[in-house]
Structure 1
Amino acid sequence: MTVQTSIFNTPVSDVDPFSFDVLEDPLPFQADLRAAGPVVYLAKHDVYAMGRFNEVQAALSDWQTFQSAAGVGLSNFRYEKPWRPPSLLLEADPPHHDAPRAILTKILGPREIRTLGESWAEDAEELVDDLLARGTEFDAVTDLAAAFPLRVFPDAVGIPQAGRENLLPYGDHAFNAFGPPNELVAKGALRVAELSASIAAQCARDVLTPDGFGAQIWAAADRGDITEAQAPLIVRSLLTAGVDTTVNGLAAVLYAFATNPDQWARLRENPDLSRTAFDEAVRFESPVQTFFRTTTHDIEVGGTLIPEGKKILMFLGSANRDPERWDNPDAFDLGRDPSGHVGFGFGIHQCVGQHIARLEASTILNALAKRIVTIEISGPTRRHHNNTLRAWESLPVRVELA
């Protein structure tokens, strides 16, 4: 990172955080970002950046100053038309954010989703048994991290089988579109009309099963808690944010265990650590690396005056590795209390589906821990580049069976 100081004593960086090198390995850039100061100006995109935990958490908590309604990507909705109707949860602030958030908080609460645990455990056991029956070498991304959420979550939402193959490509483009219009966005744009139409069709009342999350959202519209126009957009939010993020969260925890065998042994000795393991992996890898906010007025942060209407790029992954917040932050450690990380966001826009993600992760980890003694990387790994997500393309592993 080339850092110079502006006339306002704000560090200035010429690094593009969406470049190939940074997306492949963001950790060196993030360390430089934290070292440069609490706020850094990124000249490439004319935005301000925060990489330290305290500033990122504070900005996420202060929706009145750092708004989401102008878009949580680089595009500023004050001046630019979004490529799709904005998310009623991610890209809205109170009061417009309140009713949709309240509905999903109720539907996806820990007590409400507990009933899914038993059936998901059966699905996980069946998936693991089938996988291990084919051999002890497999791809932890395609065969596990993607396979399990795509097996259980669409059923829980209640969408039809047709079109499920579009969930991951659509989510990949949606998260890419939060960044600049680079080659990653251009690649997804080729199918954006087709993918958007497919996802929209799955959100309609008449195609949803009567007992899934989607039907409960439409029932809220019938009660008048939300409008009929809002209902399909809230279902879409589930399908957009509830698949790719969980897939990459599961890939992150499997990678962490494959490269930290002592922690896998620790989990096998104490299966109750499965949820801690997932949260520690979300802190450690931060599947959602960044989100933007927009200032609603001039605000001074860490000695930098950020003007009204400017975009702020918050590096969640950097905050989750800030040594001022975490002891030995570059270690994956099940002895750590990872609660308080910002991998699910923070404040009123914190991920509403995090309990679902934790249940999916703990369920598949528990099934694996019963059958697998060791797990190790068995071949070249490949990252999948995305402007927002830290993702895996391939993670070949070899396991030893119990």
Structure 2
Amino acid sequence: MPLPADKTDCENEPVRRQVPSLDVDPFSADYFENPLRVHHELREAGPVVWLGRYQCWAVARYTEVRSVLHDWRTFCSSRGVGIQDFAKEEPWRPRSPVLETDPPQHDGARAVLNRVLSPAVIKRVRQELSLVAERRIDELLQRRNIDAIADLAEAYPLSVFPDLVGMPKEGREHILPTASLNFNAFGPNNELRRAAFATAAPHMSWVMESCKSTNLAPDGFGSQIYAAAEAGEITTDEAALLVRTLFFAGVDTTVNAIGAAIYCLASFPTQWKKLHADPSLARNAFEEAVRYESPVQTFFRTTTQSTEITGAHLNEGEKVLMFLGAANRDPRHWERPDEFDIERRASGHFGFGGGIHMCVGQLLARLEGEVVLSALARRVSAISINGQPKRRHNNTLRGLATLPVTLHAA
């Protein structure tokens, strides 16, 4: 049904144009199991949709999602990238200096992370990460029947990323619960969010302690961030928050992306055959899996002024929910969007966001995904799903909790 036109508090402001209104819940268990039907409804309803259940706007088409992502002046991140508005509520934890700020506050911290995670740095660690991936695949081939999530999608990033950051060896069992908490916190106060907060204290305590300069290895990414603080580029407090941001950005999203890639390749055997025949397609296969499954499903922005999106009038201070996963399958932009094709040019997808707030760990995530798929392609002739995969529910992310597969040695 269309949203009734209404006047704002100021009689001189224009009447809000009618827009479609949908009673859908993108934070429900049914949605987490299969969001595609809702994505279709949202895209077909119109370029902008009103979600009365959460009193926010929604954009699900490629063009509109891109316009919101790339216009930080009108659609800010500094008021929170979740449903919570930091102008009206205190954040549940100190805000991220990059994810939850806008220029000019955003620029210095982003420049530091861009240097720490530069293409040259990623190139330098490539061989090390490749060797770890190859060893891991060789070990799993001895077992043949594995859980591709716990044994590979989780185990591989956790075997390399904390060491790159320089985090303590002890207590790493806190990593996955803390990362999951962070992304659940972007959603409404539902059961997922409440359950995450109920068990958060020991996990968050470990992360905050681990992000202190005295607890980081001297040659890791974390210490390099603190070196920038010593050079006066950022403050010491910002350095601690940047290490935390890097930690959050480099775990769950990468885990879910690698899991998505294995799931897609196992589900589409002809695509696996292409990759097995030509392992140089590993990077492209990873990008297509991120587009197809969209491990990061949603993010919010907040309007900084009265504005319009494709004819819909929005007032200042309103939340806009971007459906990144829906945009990544919008037939207005993509040919055959619901087909998984590792030879597709998937560049331009929003799997890592877009604009100035694009994921800070994207280069590292892409490298991890590429080397895992390359090692698989060269050692494994086929991947077959041998049990029922199970989804892991999260207010922001889409991923699997379990994926039982059999690896067939090449």
TM category (shorter chain) comes to over 0.9
> Which residue type is aligned with residue 32 of structure 2?
L
Corresponding residue number in structure 1 for 2:180: 172
Identity, in percent, stands at 50
Q: How does 1:224-243 map to 2 (within 5 A)?
A: 224-243=232-251
**Is 1:347 matched with 2:345?**
no
Corresponding residue number in structure 1 for 2:9: none
Structure 2-normalised TM-score? 0.96
Contact in 2 for aligned 1:31/1:318 (Cα 8 Å): yes
Corresponding residue number in structure 2 for 1:389: 397
Q: How does 1:310-325 map to 2 (within 5 A)?
A: 310-325=318-333
**Is 1:99 matched with 2:108?**
yes
Distance 1:89 1:266 in 2: 39
Q: How does 1:82-161 map to 2 (within 5 A)?
A: 82-133=91-142, 135-161=143-169
Q: What displacement does 1:306 show?
A: 0.9
Corresponding residue number in structure 2 for 1:10: 19
> Which residue type is aligned with residue 379 of structure 1?
G
Structure 1-normalised TM-score? 0.98
Corresponding residue number in structure 2 for 1:54: 63
Contact in 2 for aligned 1:300/1:306 (Cα 8 Å): yes
Q: What displacement does 1:66 show?
A: 0.1
Q: What displacement does 1:267 show?
A: 1.0
Distance 2:139 2:408 in 1: 16
Corresponding residue number in structure 1 for 2:13: none
Corresponding residue number in structure 1 for 2:283: 275
Corresponding residue number in structure 2 for 1:40: 49
Structure 1 residue ranges without an equivalent (≥5)? none
Q: 1:221 aligns with which of 206, 214, 229?
A: 229
> Which residue type is aligned with residue 190 of structure 1?
A
C-alpha distance after superposition, 1:77-109 (max 9, x if no partner): 000001100111111101111011001111111
Q: What displacement does 1:330 show?
A: 0.6
Distance 1:246 1:263 in 2: 21
User: Mean Cα displacement is larger for which, 50-59 or 9-18?
Assistant: 9-18
Distance 1:363 1:335 in 2: 17
Corresponding residue number in structure 1 for 2:337: 329
> Which residue type is aligned with residue 171 of structure 2?
G
Distance 2:140 2:408 in 1: 13
Distance 1:343 1:120 in 2: 22
SS of the residue aligned with 1:211? coil
Structure 2 residue ranges without an equivalent (≥5)? 6-16
Distance 2:323 2:257 in 1: 17
Q: 1:359 aligns with which of 360, 367, 381?
A: 367
User: Mean Cα displacement is larger for which, 334-343 or 310-319?
Assistant: 334-343
Corresponding residue number in structure 1 for 2:85: 76
SS of the residue aligned with 1:383? strand
Corresponding residue number in structure 2 for 1:29: 38
Distance 1:161 1:66 in 2: 40
Distance 2:82 2:3 in 1: 26
Contact in 1 for aligned 2:279/2:378 (Cα 8 Å): no
> Which residue type is aligned with residue 402 of structure 2?
S
**Is 1:261 matched with 2:259?**
no
Contact in 1 for aligned 2:42/2:49 (Cα 8 Å): yes
Q: What displacement does 1:399 show?
A: 2.0
Contact in 1 for aligned 2:56/2:320 (Cα 8 Å): yes
Contact in 1 for aligned 2:141/2:408 (Cα 8 Å): no
Q: What displacement does 1:291 show?
A: 0.2
SS of the residue aligned with 2:21? strand
Q: List structure 1 runs of 4+ shifted beyond 3 angstroms.
A: none
SS of the residue aligned with 1:387? coil
Distance 1:221 1:334 in 2: 42
Q: How does 1:360-379 map to 2 (within 5 A)?
A: 360-379=368-387
Distance 1:163 1:73 in 2: 28
Contact in 2 for aligned 1:6/1:12 (Cα 8 Å): no
Distance 1:376 1:143 in 2: 15
Q: What displacement does 1:5 show?
A: 4.3
C-alpha distance after superposition, 1:167-213 (max 9, x if no partner): 11011011001000100011111122222111001111111111110
> Which residue type is aligned with residue 105 of structure 1?
N
User: Mean Cα displacement is larger for which, 267-276 or 242-251?
Assistant: 267-276
Corresponding residue number in structure 1 for 2:300: 292
Contact in 2 for aligned 1:163/1:199 (Cα 8 Å): no
> Which residue type is aligned with residue 106 of structure 1?
R
Corresponding residue number in structure 1 for 2:316: 308
Q: What displacement does 1:363 show?
A: 0.9
Distance 2:108 2:3 in 1: 44
> Which residue type is aligned with residue 51 of structure 1?
A
Q: What displacement does 1:6 show?
A: 2.8
Distance 1:53 1:20 in 2: 25
